[in-house]
Amino acid sequence: MNELEHALEWTKQPVPDVLQELHPTQQQKVITYIDNLVRSKTDGLDELYHAISMIVKYIPHFVVIPLMVEHIKPQIAAGVCKKMSVEQATGYANDLPLDYFSQVSGHIENPLMAEILGKMKKHRAEKFILHELQHHLLHMLDIAEHLDERMLKVVAKLVTLPEHEDDLVNHPHREIIEQLRGMQ
C-alpha cells in the first residue's frame, strides 16, 4: 500500500486512478488538503460524541434505542460508542437491532469491537457473529484477529472456511483462518 492509499484508507473507498497518476509531491499536497478539509469539517465532533455518551447514561435504554435507530446514522452512533466505557457500549450492543448494530460496528475499530463482543450476552454475540460471517465475512475476520480464545471458538463453530490450502496462499486473513481451522 503506497502512502496515498494508506492516508485515504479510512474512506473505505478506492483511491481514484487520477490521484495515482500524480507525482508523489503532488499526492502529498492532495493528502494534506484532504486532511485539513476533514479536520475543519469534523472539528468538535469528538466533544459532541463525548457529551452524548455522558447524557445517554441517564436515559433508559428503552427510550434511547428506538431514537438512536430511527434518527442517528450508524457512523454517529459509532462515534458516541467510542466515547463510552466498554461496559456501557456493550449494554447498547446487546439491545440494538442486529442490522443496525452491524452497520455501527463497521465504524468501530476492530480491537474495541472484539472487547464489546467478548462482554456481550452469549446469544446476542453469536447472532452478531453469524450475521457478520454471512454478510460481512472480511469484517468479521478483521474483528476475529482481536478476539480472545473463548470468542474465537464461537467464530470457529459458526464459520465455513475455504476447503483448499490454495485458496489461502495470498489471503490477507490467512493466519486467523488457519487459527480458526485448528479450532474446528
| CA–CA dist 124, 55 (Å, integer) | 25
Provide CB contacts within 8 A for 2, sequence distance 6+.
none
| CA–CA dist 105, 93 (Å, integer) | 9
Higher pLDDT, 20 or 161: 20
| CA–CA dist 161, 140 (Å, integer) | 13
Is there a contact between 83 and 112 (Cβ–Cβ < 8 Å)? Answer: no
Q: What is the pLDDT of residue 160?
A: 78
Q: What is the pLDDT of residue 1?
A: 56
Share of the chain above pLDDT 90, in %: 60
Is there a contact between 117 and 152 (Cβ–Cβ < 8 Å)? Answer: no
Is there a contact between 61 and 95 (Cβ–Cβ < 8 Å)? Answer: yes
Per-residue pLDDT tens over the stretch 93-133: 999 999 999 999 999 999 999 999 999 999 999 999 999 99
pTM above 0.85, yes or no: no
Residue 59 in this model has a pLDDT that exceeds 80: yes
Per-residue pLDDT tens over the stretch 1-35: 567 777 777 777 787 888 888 888 998 898 888 88
Higher pLDDT, 161 or 103: 103
Q: What is the pLDDT of residue 166?
A: 61
Q: Which three cell numbers stand for residue 94?
A: 446487546
Domain map of the chain by residue range? 3-42, 45-183
Provide CB contacts within 8 A for 140, sequence distance 6+.
129, 132, 133, 155, 159
